[in-house]
Structure 1
Amino acid sequence: MIRRLRGLRTRLLVTFVLVAVLGATAAAWSSAASASGSLVTASQRQLSETLAGQIGAVTPQLTYPPDQATLDLLRGTVGGDTVVTYRDLRSASGADIELITDAVREAARSQNRLVTQRISAKGTAWLLLGTPVMITAPDGTRTPSGIEVYAVRDLTSVQEQINSLTRTAAVTSALVLPLAVVLALLAARTVLRPVRKLRDTARRLAAGDLDARSPPRGADELAELTVTINEMADSVQTSMTKMERMRADARRFAADVSHELRTPLTTLTAVVDVLAIVAEDMEADARESAQMAISETHRLVQLVEDLMEVSRFDAGTAKLRLEYIDAAEAVYYCVRARNWLGQVDLMARGETRQWLDRRRLDVIVANLVGNALRHGEPPVRVRVSADPEWLWVEVVDNGPGLSEEVLPHVFDRFYKADAARTRTPGSGLGLAIALENARLHGGDLVAGNAKRGGARFVLRLPRDLEDA
């Protein structure tokens, strides 16, 4: 029972009661408006009935057709601010009769009954009344006599009563509002304090602080939610710790294996180099086997080198060794060293001298051009350009380009666009290493397709690396 009374639902109900108090204030304004409308309607009805009664009392004394004296008699009976007309005859009194509108006259004549219109003029509310005088025959038939009566009545007293009602509603609202605000603030503070604490805890968890927790308070639904979130955070922290440990073990394993393989692979490389020299004198079958062994050994050496490079990126130990070099010249030497000049179209534009890591730039360009030659078609176009902020290296091949399925994964490690190409040259890490080297420089590497076809890779490196 105590828990139910202290629960979040109870506090919400209290909050809704406070909202109802504010609703009552709105109802007071609505009531005032309704009362004002009723007051105006009642006043209009009373004035209309009074005018009709005055005309009805004097109608038997009138002569038809009426003369000026008859009109004066009728106007005097109705009172001031009145106009009585009959064809060209007219009897009027009062300074406000000019307020009578043509709309009232037309309505009285066309409808043959008493009509009214409320207007505002001279800063005052007025009621205009107009009615024809009807002649009742012995058989009860009523016909217009041609006499028309128009009157103007001041509604100032009614407007003052309406203003009084409005002021009363305003005072009531002004008295209720501060109390309602205070109570609402207190209720909101009580309800929202634990919610804000949960929000802060969630933000800390999202920012990577897996030790963030919120101590549960009370015994309501928010306390239960806090306990659930804390349990979830414990589970996530345990899972993340295990995952991080597994990743660290995997990185360490790859680095250790690569390091341990380096020495025997160096020896094996020396052996296959000797084997390459004597392979030409072997029988055809033996020569083919030897060449396959040589090729696979070089591929294995490259894979181990790439794994060691990746492990350095993962461990955060990869560092830049900056030199002030001509980037366009470095790209040329990269292509020439691999005997690709006949398949590559080189072009440089702008001043391309800047601070760069020559070896890592060579790795990026070699991977991009080599990938273009393997999976595209020559000639491969390489463009080097620069502006005040960035150095750009664009590599475009003449192949079919990158499909929509391949494009999101081109920089993934060991990704093969075609499962049948698992034995193609390369380690499957080249583009991933190129991207890491670009980011190590503070730049980026993006893949796409050229407008005229072919895969297009764009390397972007910042020009302000002299202080790095």
Structure 2
Amino acid sequence: MSEAHPGLSLRTRLMIGLAVVAAIAIGVAVTVTVTTHSYLVQQLDARLESYSGQIDAVLLHRNDSSSDVIVPLTPPGSTESSERPSDAYTGLINATDGSYGFALKPNTASDDTEPDLSQLDVALFADGQAFSTTVDALGGEAGEYRVLVRPFNASGGTYWSFTALSMDSVQDATTRLVVIEAFGIGALLAGLALVGLWVIRLGITPMRRMVDASKQIAEGDMSVRLEGASAGSESHDLAIALNGMIGRLQASLTERERSEAKLREFVADASHELRTPLTTVLGYAQLYRKGALSDKADVDDAWVRTESEAGRMKRLVEDMLELAKYDALPELQRVDADITALAAEIVGDSAAADPDTEFALEADGPAIAAVDADKVRQAVINIVRNAAIHGGDNVTVRVTTTSGAVRIAVEDDGPGMSPEVAARATERFVRGDSSRSRATGGGAGLGLAITAAIVDAHGGTLNVTSTVGHGTTVTMTIPRAPLTTGATPIVRTAPSPASTASAPSASTPALGD
């Protein structure tokens, strides 16, 4: 497997791309300049070509064949000028020694420069062909001239005619083009630099920050959040999406840690609750096996205690199984039920089961709600049972209705609980008394936990308020939402509320702890 090579970063790729664009722009500018300059020179050569034919005709017309000097010539540097047929310098040049003279000069020249033909190499005349070349100016400011040199027919090959035009116009046009291109390329490079900085600032730099933050998150620092560019940019939207994902992940991890802690606490509490009855059962079994229980009365007492502890373990296991069912999305058999009538039955049954406690029901009338009647009955029984065991001598059940919910409040006048214990009252294996003694007849602390699971399954809430020395109030709130309008509840109509409930019915339900 080949080794992976590190790629270029976005910043490097952007800079390379901008550099390539700048190089292309400069190359195009140079090409345009060279092409334009060559085109202007060609135009100048075409003008020279058109002038040279006319000049040769003029020179031939003025030719005196008996004279060695074909026409009167003006030496270089002379201020003398003749009639100007054009803006070109015209004259003859001796192909033998390179000497030359002007036959015609422009009479509208703005400076005193003229072509310096002494730069021409006499070897250029060897092949007898016309040629064009560029020479420097003579006198005045620096400059160049374009010169067309042709054989002069009347001179027998000794003299050549020349026509020269100043290249100032070509140079000026080329210079202006270069200046314009320089400003244009400068503006282009400045624009590319600004675009590069803008892209780096809005795109690459935020991405680099997010990469660094992601590394911190990968190392376990879940408090870090990603920061993008300004609102509306892709990095900003990406940062928001990733921050939301990180938040949900952090919440999931926190919830998992909390669940694991609760599970460990649950296992520890369940082990503690099972250890006492198991120790009792094991102890009596060992006494019986070793023959320590010789009297029949001792044997009967041992069996009674063993059966009691086995029943306690059975109830504990059943309660834990019940909670497991609610943890796994319980199925509810919802029907329209009268909660007031259901509460009245529970109050009556509780009064019969615990005659030393005074139970009262307060309600305005029927309260119909779509609930699983058996499970709601179990939840209310658990609350009333806890109030009777851990509360005082008076337990009041109040049923009230609102437009969208039924509220069942169970109030006692017992010793109450501290705010810390009340806040955790619906957790598993939490009891109001700090000790684990069952002298008061308390259970394993799963009653309110089961009640909370039932209420939650119905989409309601369970609230526990308590004040030390002033009793405890447990309030169930369940959404009403009757299944059918005018349906007949499956629970019988409640009797008139009374301060003390009547005798229990024949089918008194078992009370939970």
The two structures share one fold, judged by TM-score above 0.5:
no
Q: Which of the five TM-score ranges fits, normalised by the shorter chain?
A: 0.3 to 0.5
Output the TM-score relative to the length of structure 1: 0.43
TM norm structure 2: 0.40
Q: Whose Rg is larger?
A: 2
